[in-house]
């Protein structure tokens, strides 16, 4: 009996300590049948990391193991991803080619610079190995330049700020809307960057903006086993990012955090930090959305999110049994965003 009591004490102590960074998840209904619902059902919400106006809740999903693909930045560094203008140049399209033996994950909102003008990737794509040249949908984020700087594009250090990424995911995304948001953001946080070619990357280079964004990044540290995050600004969940594996999230986490920090700069007054229940409620709404299949130039299936007062996208790749089928999901509230 003493042995069992001691063993029970050890297990209780382990449970209290080993899971101390994860808040208990309340009972949830069974998934509604789609891959996003299943993933959310398997996800726990961690304790928030907060700094000024920003609160970031790490998300931890059962079965979010390693995946066999590389990110855009790694692929360009390895010279297995080639990005060029299409023909003499076409604003909404670029040519991409995967010359490697692994799929390449391109995240909506990532920026490539070079060619005749810098572009932002319009939707998540998983490029097949040895893909050959493929047309990729993009938007221009550098209004005012149409002169070839380089034959091939490189990866930008920063990515589109979260408010712009929301607009890329929203119904009716347009080039004019992208240009308007780039100009609005520059005027709001870095007026000196609003002129010239009106490039979103110039906003990040502003001295005050860079220092402030760096401060957010230093003060928000997520656990290494997180595969996503829920981001709260001034008490409202403004975005959820869920990845099918911790490695890919780990490589893109800082870029994503910086993109949300850029929008946090527009909040002048500190807002109430959202309770965990607000995040849980957002996720429960996401479990019940409808996924509408859309065309994709890559492998896997791409969906747009409809219903539940949410919008966003989900990229599904059923590569191996036992792994989460969702490669990446971006979810946003459909209430008015900054500047609207």
pLDDT in tens, 242-261: 999 999 999 999 999 999 99
pLDDT score recorded for residue 234: 80
The conformational region for residue 312 under phi > 0 = left, psi -120 to 50 = alpha, else beta, is left
Of 95-99, 119-123, 324-328, the range with the lowest mean pLDDT is: 324-328
Mean local confidence (pLDDT), 160-173 = 91
Classified as helix, coil or strand, 264 is: helix
pLDDT score recorded for residue 322: 64
Q: Which pair of tokens denotes residue 34?
A: 């789609």
pLDDT score recorded for residue 22: 46
Q: Whole-number mean pLDDT of the chain?
A: 86
* 10 or 138, higher pLDDT: 138
> Cα 337 vs. chain centroid, distance in angstroms?
16
Task: Tell the residue number behind the tokens 């969906």, with chain if given.
Answer: 303
Task: Tell the residue number behind the tokens 């893109």, with chain if given.
Answer: 252
**Overall residue count recorded for the chain in this entry:** 340
Angle, helices 162-169 vs 246-264, to 10°: value is: 110
pLDDT score recorded for residue 338: 58
């Amino acid at each position: 009996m003493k042995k069992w009591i001691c063993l029970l004490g050890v297990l209780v102590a382990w449970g209290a300590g080993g899971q101390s960074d994860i808040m208990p998840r309340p009972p949830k209904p069974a998934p509604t049948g789609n891959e996003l619902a299943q993933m959310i059902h398997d996800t726990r919400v961690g304790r928030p990391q907060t700094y000024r106006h920003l609160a970031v809740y790490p998300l931890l999903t059962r079965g979010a193991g390693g995946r066999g693909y590389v990110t855009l930045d790694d692929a360009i560094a390895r010279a297995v991803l080639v990005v060029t203008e299409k023909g003499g140049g076409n604003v909404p399209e670029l040519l991409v080619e995967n010359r490697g033996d692994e799929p390449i994950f391109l995240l909506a909102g990532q920026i490539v610079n070079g060619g005749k003008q810098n572009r932002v990737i319009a939707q998540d794509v998983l490029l097949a190995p040895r893909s050959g040249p493929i047309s990729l949908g993009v938007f221009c984020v550098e209004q005012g330049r149409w002169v070839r700087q380089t034959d091939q594009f490189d990866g930008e250090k920063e990515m589109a700020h979260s408010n712009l990424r929301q607009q890329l995911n929203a119904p009716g995304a347009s080039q004019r809307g992208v240009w308007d948001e780039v100009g609005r953001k520059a005027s709001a946080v870095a007026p000196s960057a609003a002129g010239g070619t009106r490039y979103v990357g110039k906003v990040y280079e502003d001295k005050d903006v860079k220092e402030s964004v760096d401060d957010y990044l230093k003060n928000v540290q997520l656990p290494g086993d997180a595969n996503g995050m829920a981001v709260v600004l001034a008490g409202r969940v403004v975005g959820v990012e869920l990845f099918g594996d911790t490695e890919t999230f780990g490589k893109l986490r800082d870029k994503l955090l910086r993109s949300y920090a850029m929008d946090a700069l527009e909040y002048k007054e500190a807002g109430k930090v959202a309770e965990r229940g607000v995040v849980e409620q957002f996720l429960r709404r996401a479990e019940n959305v409808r996924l509408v299949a859309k065309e994709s130039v890559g492998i896997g299936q791409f969906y747009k999110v409809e219903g539940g007062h949410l919008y966003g996208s989900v990229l599904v790749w059923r590569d191996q049994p036992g792994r989460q089928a969702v490669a990446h999901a971006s979810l946003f509230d459909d209430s008015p965003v900054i500047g609207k």
